[in-house]
Structure 1
Amino acid sequence: MRINRVKFVSEITRQDITLVELAKKADVSRVTLSSIKCGKSCSDAIGYKIAKALNINVKDLLED
């Protein structure tokens, strides 16, 4: 799954949440979130965990 890094960064900024806080909430590592923030892809399971933790639809994070 390829998460759009701009949408990802915009959403965590909008929600005023740090990567450490999101990592705890989504039960994924901070390193994984940093990789996604830098444009790397992730598994579908990780993408859904992140979307759930941010309380948004996973489609809102995906690249167009």
Structure 2
Amino acid sequence: MSKVSYKQADLERGIRAAKAQSLPISCIQITSDGTTQIIIGDPLPARNLAQVRDGEINEWDAELGAE
């Protein structure tokens, strides 16, 4: 496993910016190349988030609560 390079200050700045705009943070992803993504929206249950990540359901299925 390789070490991921990202700056905590950059991540914290993004979180503060989202909170300043009253945006809900659904999740934060840090990819293997160090790219950080702050996903805005209501958090999905862990089961649904894994299904979206694995391509089992699309974002509209998750939004509408489809099983």
Query: Shorter chain as normaliser: what TM range?
Result: 0.3 to 0.5
**Structure with greater proportional strand content:** 2
**TM-score with structure 2 length normalisation?**
0.31
Q: Which structure carries more relative contact order (alpha carbon 8 Å, separation 6+)?
A: 1
Q: What TM-score results when the alignment is normalised by the length of structure 1?
A: 0.32
